[in-house]
């Protein structure tokens, strides 16, 4: 078979000492960047891009790819330990992962995240090698109408993941959508709700808002009088580092489902990976016998989304490797790296640059192996970090977050905005609003609006395109079904509450 010859060739390339070293550096830097709150993958790859000029192209790309998926491993660490998601894809990991950490189960949460990511990474790598070319058709079949429907589905996921009131969750999504409207209009370039602040011209950054409503708000809340007790409790309770047999049994199906979902959605450029992790969480919550455990430290709530986002991180290479079209900002930077080396990727990159493509695919598997070897022993160190007294921990987190946010655009205004969102987040906590739906609304908002407008432009204002295009119709049907499933029971229980109270 051709494929084995290709893979063998790829491994021969990837196993050369220099490429192994590049892969290791990429994995290490990726882990570091993922762990540090605020510093995103995009910023890091952009910073390190100049260094790759002096390297051979294959090595350079192996390293950059390593940073990209390494950050997916590292990102879950901060989400679980300190409730600060660094990327949109790790927002859901924070929900149950951090609850597990509060119950003294940070070790199992981190370990299962690493194991799930490893499994998903391996499967997705094989998928790229075997099915890369046919799967490309999916990416091309997705037009604006399909993307809009997918985003609608994504927003329904956000409703499902809410722990408390559905009404409040929907309000938070809409709040997030509204925040995402800040910036420039895509069609006319008009400045929207930016109050003539130049830094707002391109909208609020995800990292800025996420650091604010998760990171800073969490710190401020923990400083409240009376919060010391629960904190100290967390530090004393730390039990086993590795997952128990029961944890493994519980999370195996979640990892499998997450991997499948992530692999499929990862191929779609723009937002695919985010929707994959939210979708995996929703799926687990809907399939669970006792959905009330979710949001209170369910290990499936970590295993599913983490597998999904790592699978998606791998399969998102497919459009780049088969079409030469970068599906997201990090990939666009990799295209930049290739161009600097005189390789302009296109549909024939697989035939013209077999070393590069197959070497990269093989290195992904090797990289994932390295990452699990790096990350499992690190679990012990991370958990020990939780024992650092909070009075020293919180100023350090403040500084790391501030530097991280500043580094994204070298803009002090971003840091101030994150501080403002910290206060907003504190207020949200006090009024029992959840920040996760807000962030999802913020990430999906622009994608939804832009694709809706594109679809309507192309159809000349005919809304029926969303139903006449089969893929789009299916996605909308799934969304509608899910909404009914979610809203009905909660309405019923709400009504029961109202009735029981009025009887008294």
Partner 1 sequence: MTSIRTLTSGACAVALASLCIFTAPAKAQTYPTRSITMIVPFAAGGPTDVVARIVTGHMAQTLGQSVIIENVVGAGGTTATTRAARAANDGYTLITGHMGTHAASVPLYPKLAYHPEKDFEPIALLAGTPILILARKDFPPKDLNEFVTYVKANAEKVNAAHAGVGSVSHVSCELLHSILDVKPVSVPFSGTGPAMNALVGGQVDYMCDQIVNAVPQINAGTIKAYAIATPQRNPSLPNVPTTAEAGLPKFQAQAWNAMFAPKGTSAAIVASLNAAASKALDDETVKKRLLELGSVIPTAAERTPEALATLVKNEIAKWTPVLKPAT
Partner 2 sequence: MADTMGHSATATRNTRLALGFCLLAIAPQIFELIWSIGTIFGWGAGRGPGTVLTSHVTALLAGAPSAIFGSFGGGTKKMSSEVLLALIYTYPLLVVAILTLFMTVRSAQDYVGGVVLMAVALFALWAGSDLQGMRGFSFGAGTAPRMFSGLLVALSAAIALTGLLTDGPAMAHYSWRGPLFVVAAILFFALAIRPLGVVVTAFISFMIAATGSQETRWREAVIVGACLTLGCAILFPYVLGLPMPMLPRFLIQ
Binding residues vs partner 1 (CB under 8 A): 21, 25, 29, 45-51, 53, 63, 139-144, 184-189, 196, 198-199, 201-202, 269-270, 319, 323-327, 329, 331-337, 339-340, 342, 344-349, 409-410, 446, 450, 453-454, 457-458, 460
**Closer of 2 and 501 to partner 2 (Cβ):** 501
By a kind-dependent CB cut-off of 5 to 8 A, residue 53 interacts, out of partner 2, partner 1, none, with: partner 1
By a kind-dependent CB cut-off of 5 to 8 A, residue 423 interacts, out of partner 2, partner 1, none, with: partner 2
By a kind-dependent CB cut-off of 5 to 8 A, residue 412 interacts, out of partner 2, partner 1, none, with: partner 2
CB of 363 to partner 2, least distance (A): 22
Taking the C-alpha atoms of residue 228 and residue 445, their distance in angstroms, rounded to an integer, is 37
By a kind-dependent CB cut-off of 5 to 8 A, residue 167 interacts, out of partner 1, partner 2, none, with: partner 2
CB of 181 to partner 2, least distance (A): 4
**Closer of 35 and 303 to partner 2 (Cβ):** 35
CB of 340 to partner 2, least distance (A): 16
> Pick from 207, 205, 158: which is nearest to 180 by CA?
205
Q: Are 300 and 250 in contact (CB under 8 A)?
A: yes
**Closer of 352 and 391 to partner 2 (Cβ):** 391
Q: How far is CA 267 from CA 364, 383, 408, in A?
A: 16, 34, 26
By a kind-dependent CB cut-off of 5 to 8 A, residue 232 interacts, out of partner 2, partner 1, none, with: none
By a kind-dependent CB cut-off of 5 to 8 A, residue 496 interacts, out of partner 2, partner 1, none, with: none
CB of 260 to partner 2, least distance (A): 33
By a kind-dependent CB cut-off of 5 to 8 A, residue 39 interacts, out of partner 1, partner 2, none, with: partner 2
**Closer of 202 and 462 to partner 2 (Cβ):** 462
**Closer of 339 and 493 to partner 1 (Cβ):** 339
Q: How far is CA 345 from CA 18, 135, 325, 337, in A?
A: 23, 18, 8, 10
**DSSP H helix total and E strand total for the chain:** 23, 2
CB of 98 to partner 1, least distance (A): 30
Joined tokens for residue 261: 């979902």
Task: Return phi, psi of residue 332, to 5°.
Answer: -60, -40
**Closer of 242 and 325 to partner 1 (Cβ):** 325
**Closer of 113 and 418 to partner 2 (Cβ):** 418
Burial 79-90 (b: 16+ CB within 10 A, else e): bbbbbbbbbbbb
CB of 423 to partner 2, least distance (A): 6
CB of 380 to partner 1, least distance (A): 24
Q: What would the 3-class secondary structure string for 407-470 be?
A: HHHCCHHHHHHHHHHHHHHHHHHHCCCCHHHHHHHHHHHHHHHHHHHHHHHHCCCCCCHHHHCH
**Closer of 134 and 427 to partner 2 (Cβ):** 427
CB of 178 to partner 2, least distance (A): 5
- The 3-state DSSP class for residue 379 equals helix
Taking the C-alpha atoms of residue 467 and residue 475, their distance in angstroms, rounded to an integer, is 10
> Pick from 246, 242, 248, 231: which is nearest to 380 by CA?
242
CB of 105 to partner 2, least distance (A): 25
By a kind-dependent CB cut-off of 5 to 8 A, residue 346 interacts, out of partner 1, partner 2, none, with: partner 1
By a kind-dependent CB cut-off of 5 to 8 A, residue 319 interacts, out of partner 2, partner 1, none, with: partner 1
Taking the C-alpha atoms of residue 382 and residue 370, their distance in angstroms, rounded to an integer, is 18
Ranges of H-type helices in 142-183: 144-160, 166-180
CB of 422 to partner 2, least distance (A): 7
**Closer of 144 and 212 to partner 1 (Cβ):** 144
Q: What is the DSSP string of 278-342?
A: HHHHHHHHHHSS-GGGTTS--THHHHHHHHHHHHHHHHTHHIIIII----SHHHHHHHHHHHHTT
Joined tokens for residue 117: 């990511």
By a kind-dependent CB cut-off of 5 to 8 A, residue 73 interacts, out of partner 1, partner 2, none, with: none
Q: Could you tell me the sign of the dihedral formed by the alpha carbons of 407, 193, 445, 170, in that order? A: positive
Taking the C-alpha atoms of residue 36 and residue 322, their distance in angstroms, rounded to an integer, is 33
**Closer of 44 and 310 to partner 2 (Cβ):** 44
């Amino acid at each position: 078979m051709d494929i084995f010859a290709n893979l063998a060739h790829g491994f021969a390339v990837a196993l050369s000492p220099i490429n192994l070293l590049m892969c290791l550096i990429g994995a290490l830097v990726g882990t570091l960047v993922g762990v540090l709150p605020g510093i995103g993958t995009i910023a890091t790859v952009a910073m390190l891009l100049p260094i790759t000029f002096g390297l051979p192209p294959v090595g350079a790309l192996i390293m950059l790819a390593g940073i990209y998926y390494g950050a997916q491993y590292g990102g879950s660490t901060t989400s679980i330990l300190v409730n600060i998601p660094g990327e949109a894809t790790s927002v859901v990991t924070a929900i149950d992962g951090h609850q597990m950490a509060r119950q003294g189960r940070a070790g199992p949460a981190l370990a299962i995240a690493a194991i799930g990511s490893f499994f998903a990474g391996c499967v997705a790598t094989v998928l790229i090698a075997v099915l890369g070319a046919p799967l490309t058709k999916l990416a091309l079949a997705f037009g604006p109408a399909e993307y809009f429907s997918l985003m609608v589905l994504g927003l329904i996921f956000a409703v499902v993941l809410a722990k408390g009131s559905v009404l409040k969750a929907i309000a938070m999504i809409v709040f997030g959508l509204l925040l995402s409207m800040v910036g420039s209009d895509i069609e006319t370039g008009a400045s929207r709700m930016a109050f003539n602040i130049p830094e707002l011209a391109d909208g609020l950054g995800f990292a800025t808002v996420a650091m604010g409503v998760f990171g800073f708000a969490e710190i401020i809340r923990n400083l409240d009088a009376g919060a010391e007790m629960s904190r100290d409790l967390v530090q004393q309770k730390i039990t086993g580092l590795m997952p128990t047999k029961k944890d493994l049994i519980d999370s195996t199906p979640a990892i499998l489902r997450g991997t499948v979902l992530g692999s499929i959605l990862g191929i779609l450029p723009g937002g695919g990976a985010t929707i994959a992790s939210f979708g995996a969480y929703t799926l687990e919550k809907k399939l669970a016998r006792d959905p009330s455990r979710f949001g209170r430290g369910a290990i499936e709530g970590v295993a599913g989304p983490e597998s999904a986002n790592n699978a998606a991180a791998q399969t998102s290479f497919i459009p780049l490797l088969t079409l030469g079209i970068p599906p997201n900002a990090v990939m666009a930077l990799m295209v930049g790296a290739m161009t600097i080396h005189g390789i302009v990727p296109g549909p024939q990159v697989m035939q013209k640059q077999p070393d590069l493509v197959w070497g990269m695919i093989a290195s992904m598997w090797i990289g994932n192996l390295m990452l699990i070897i790096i990350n499992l022993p690190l679990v012990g160190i991370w958990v020990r970090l939780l024992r650092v007294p909070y009075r020293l921990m919180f100023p350090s987190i403040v500084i790391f977050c501030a530097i991280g946010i500043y580094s994204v655009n070298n803009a002090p205004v971003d840091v101030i905005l994150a501080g403002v969102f910290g206060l907003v987040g504190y207020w949200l906590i006090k009024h029992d609003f959840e920040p996760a739906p807000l962030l999802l609304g913020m990430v999906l908002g622009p994608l939804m609006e832009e694709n809706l407008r594109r679809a309507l432009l192309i159809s000349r204002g005919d809304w029926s395109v969303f139903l006449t295009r089969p893929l789009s119709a299916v996605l909308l049907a799934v969304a509608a079904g899910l909404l009914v499933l979610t809203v009905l029971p909660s309405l019923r229980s709400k009504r029961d509450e109202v009735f029981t109270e009025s009887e008294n």
